[in-house]
Chain A
Amino acid sequence: MSYREFRAPTGLLPVVACLWRNDTLVDGTERVVPDGCVDLVWLGDGPPLVVGPDTGPVVWEPTGVPTCGVRLRQGAAGNVLGLPASAVRDLQVPLTEVWPEAGALSEQVATAGDTAECLRLLAGAVLHRRVTPDPLATEAARRLADREIRVADLAAELGVGERQLHRRVTAAVGYAPKTLARVARLRRLIGADEAPTMSLADQALAAGYASQAHMTDEVHRLTGVTPVRFLEDVRLTAA
Chain B
Amino acid sequence: MQAKEFKVKWGMLVDLDKCTGCGACTVACRAENNLPPEADAANKLRTNDWMNIYELSNEKPFPDHEVAYLPRPCMQCGHPSCSTVCPVVATLKDEEGGIVSQVYPRCIGCRYCMAACPYHARYFNWFDPIWPEGMEKVLTPYASARPRGVVEKCTFCHHRFMAAKEQARMNGEDPTELAEDAYIPACAEICPTGAIKFGNLKNPEHEVSKLAASKYAFRLLEKLGTDPQVYYYSKREWVRKLGDNYLKNAKGGEHV
A, B: real partners:
no
Please give the residue numbers on chain A whose beta carbons come within 8 Å of chain B beta carbons, in ascending order.
Answer: none
A-contacting residues of B (Cβ < 8 Å)? none
